[in-house]
Chain A
Amino acid sequence: MIPEIGSTLIISAMLTSILQSIPAKKNAHKFSFISMFIALASFLLLIYAFIASDFSVSSVYLNSHTAKPFIYKITGSWGNHEGSMLLLAILIIIYGNAFYVFSNSGKKFKERVLNIQGMLAAIFLAFIFFTSNPFERIEPTPKNGLGLNPLLQDIGLAIHPPLLYIGYIGFSIVYAFAINIMREKNPSKNWIALLKPWVVFSWSFLTIGILMGSWWAYRELGWGGYWFWDPVENSSLMPWLSATALLHAVIVGFKRDILKSWIILLSILTFCLSITGFFLVRSGIVTSVHAFASDPTRGIFILAILLGLIVVALTIYALKGNKFLSTKNLKFFSREGFITLNNMILLCLLGTVIIGTVYPIILQVLNIDNITVGPDYYNKTFNTISLILLFIAALVPSLKWKNNKLKDILNKNLIPLIISLSSILAIYYFTEIKNNITIISLFFSLWIIITLFYIFIARVKKSYSRDFIAMATAHIGVAILVLGITISSEWQQEKQLTMKKNQTIEINQFNIKFDGITLLAKDNYLAKKGNFSIYEKDFIANLSPELRYYPIQNKVTTEAAIYYSIFSNIYIAIGEDDSAGNYAVRVYYKPFINLIWCGAILMALGGFLSIKTKRKK
């Protein structure tokens, strides 16, 4: 009974969304409000089905089990394809309502944006109802479910999709806004200011969403890695790169009233890349650690949606886009000039990721060859090109808008450069780095941080403005992120060996003793817990990595144990024992890896700080 209500609610929400998209009546916002309640009710019923372990519902059967801990029963409702699609649809509707309530745009404009939102919501809900209904029933009702993948029974992974989706779907509003601003006969003068908060908000959540995914991978996958250039990871990075370009374009557009056509095109691109992300992940077209269960029909449906979005937007742009062409010029040696360059570099980065991700797919689809693109491709292309981005980020805070004199810029950067350069020379002298990219990344990252602090301390005019603080936070975040990545890659140490009880190994300045194995039995798994003690001179901490066996799924997982200190992480994973009772152990020393998470958090924080824009005088 309840699942049938759930299904009916989905189709009802689709109908109200269709009504929402009809322009004539000017009550789109009312329908949007109603759709939200209907869709939320449907989702609550889905969560209920999971909690009640109603295995007559297909998605509950496939993804849950009575023995699953309560909280993971709840999070399991969105941890699968059907449930997550419903979450996406709900977010589309919620964003529509949020736009209506919070945006300072005119009423008519808001109505038109909601018309588009309604169309998007209707399309997603139709997709759900016809190809991915979470309430689909199975007969006869199984006694129990197939259980949830134990890898998904982790809080980090439970939050990661919703955060990511809040990011992705935010760009649906950005897209709808862009479509409608093109159709306006007399676009309001400050439309960029009206668009900006939505771009920044969505970007910030996209950043955190990606961060959570990486952090989860680091803790859960047992290999100490946090980014694999996996097609599914790339499909979140691609919209992020475009969104970052858009974010910067909007800042320039707001300040100098230029780049307007560019902003519109980026708005379209970012949302389309988000949808492409869904396509890649859910169509089964990629081999990946992450990919959802595949279904070609879904893939084709999503591809059709994507093409529709692109064709509609570009047609409108072809017909109406030229009213936004700039009448002003910009000079290269200015803040706006370098930010424009930043946009070009970001798009080059986007290009390298697209090529690396899509090229194998094309070869496979055309049955030419079966290849994978190795991670070194990205090191050579992406990492190299991003050095230019770091350089720009270091230089821009000292650049004024409109025009600059070379002498002034050299003066402003003299002290930061001296400090960064001497630090790098010191590091090079004491540690002998061989990799050029490492040295350059370190140099630029230090320069970014020092320049921003220098400006702040020298009490330059306006350095305490919210905009400056937000920018500084975000850019320092970037620099710290890069430092974390560079330092941990360059100086990381790894030891893989078999250890017997009471054996000690040395890694960097630490000694790690294997104290033996204890056996555990929990709710839904059995575990072999490895007991390790870390010593420097004195005892520091215990670490207990586990090898878990989930009987219901007949699945084994490694739970790595991580010791967090400010300067490094010690990361231990255990494997099976051999015939002599010695256990396979993998130990990593990862210096400054925490900087990666801190850096990303600062980036998102910078984003959140800059959502409220000053009104232009």
Chain B
Amino acid sequence: MKPKHQRLIFIIVGILCVSLSLSLVLTAMDDNIIFFYSPSEIAKAKQGEYVRVGGLVEENSIKKLPENKTKFTITDYKDSIVIEYQGILPNLFREGQGIIASGIKQDGDIFYAKELLAKHDENYMPPEVAKTLEKNKK
């Protein structure tokens, strides 16, 4: 076999590997894309979808409930949404902080968060949240 032909075989095997991986990727990606919504957009999300919602924690909205639960409201200066979370709060969680909550969207006013994301720097605002705030300030 000429080296040139073997190179061709390599390329074909390579393309095969890539195609198989791509098909894996496409199937996995479909099920695992998590959309981000601001409080004013969250109505767009489908019921039962696992989504992320982000905004600023509203002043005086944090309430501690029994069983390690916390209820608070986040806003994007246009709309707000009530979030309930069970578990230890992230360290940066406080009023005025940019927070992203992820969970399954259900009917009703409360968003039950499975995870809360807050970065470890008080100067940080998740870019998605910042963008929405900018848009709504105008």
Q: Is there contact, CB below 8 Å, between A576 and B89?
A: yes
Task: Give the residues from 272 to 291 in chain A that come closer than 8 angstroms, CB to CB, to chain B.
Answer: 284, 287-289, 291
B31: which A residues are within 8 A, CB to CB?
Answer: 376-377, 380
Q: C-beta contact mask, A530-567 vs B, less than 8 Å → 1, else 0?
A: 00000000000000000000000111111000000000
Q: Is there contact, CB below 8 Å, between B87 and A555?
A: no
Q: C-beta contact mask, B17-44 vs A, less than 8 Å → 1, else 0?
A: 1101110110111011111110000000
| Also in contact, A555 and B91, with CB within 8 A (given A345-B17, A372-B36, A381-B24) | yes
A344 within 8 A of B: yes
| Docked complex Cα distance between A330 and B6 (Å) | 8
A284: which B residues are within 8 A, CB to CB?
Answer: 127
Contact of A555 among B10, B50, B92 (CB under 8 A): B92
Closest to B91 in A: A556
Tell me how far the C-beta of B94 lies from the nearest C-beta in chain A, rounded to whole angstroms. Answer: 8
Q: Is there contact, CB below 8 Å, between B68 and A376?
A: no
Interface of A is mostly: mixed
Q: Is there contact, CB below 8 Å, between B87 and A327?
A: no
Contact of A575 among B35, B88, B128 (CB under 8 A): B88
Chain B residue total in the interface (Cβ 8 A): 47
Q: Determine, out of A50-58, A348-356, A395-403, the stretch whose residues face the partner at the interface.
A: A348-356
Task: Give the residues from 463 to 505 in chain A that come closer than 8 angstroms, CB to CB, to chain B.
Answer: 496-498
A144: which B residues are within 8 A, CB to CB?
Answer: none
A554: which B residues are within 8 A, CB to CB?
Answer: 122
Q: C-beta contact mask, A329-355 vs B, less than 8 Å → 1, else 0?
A: 110000000001100110110011001
B92: which A residues are within 8 A, CB to CB?
Answer: 555-556
| Also in contact, A340 and B10, with CB within 8 A (given A348-B18, A370-B36, A576-B89) | yes
| Also in contact, A380 and B126, with CB within 8 A (given A329-B3, A370-B36, A556-B92) | no
Contact of B29 among A341, A355, A375, A496 (CB under 8 A): A355
B60 within 8 A of A: no
Contact of B21 among A328, A329, A341, A352 (CB under 8 A): A352
| Docked complex Cα distance between A385 and B124 (Å) | 36
Q: Is there contact, CB below 8 Å, between B68 and A327?
A: no
B14: which A residues are within 8 A, CB to CB?
Answer: 344
| Docked complex Cα distance between A369 and B10 (Å) | 37
Closest to A152 in B: B120
B128: which A residues are within 8 A, CB to CB?
Answer: 287, 370
Tell me how far the C-beta of A543 lies from the nearest C-beta in chain B, rounded to whole angstroms. Answer: 16
Q: C-beta contact mask, A316-333 vs B, less than 8 Å → 1, else 0?
A: 000000000111111000
B17: which A residues are within 8 A, CB to CB?
Answer: 344-345, 347-348
Contact of B123 among A293, A376, A377, A579 (CB under 8 A): A293
Q: Is there contact, CB below 8 Å, between B121 and A149?
A: yes
8 shortest interchain CB distances as A-B pairs: A575-B88, A380-B28, A377-B32, A370-B36, A374-B32, A348-B21, A372-B34, A556-B91
Which residues from chain B sit less than 8 Å from chain A, CB to CB?
1, 3, 6-7, 10, 13-14, 17-18, 20-22, 24-25, 27-29, 31-37, 50, 52, 64, 66-68, 86-89, 91-92, 100, 117, 119-124, 126-128
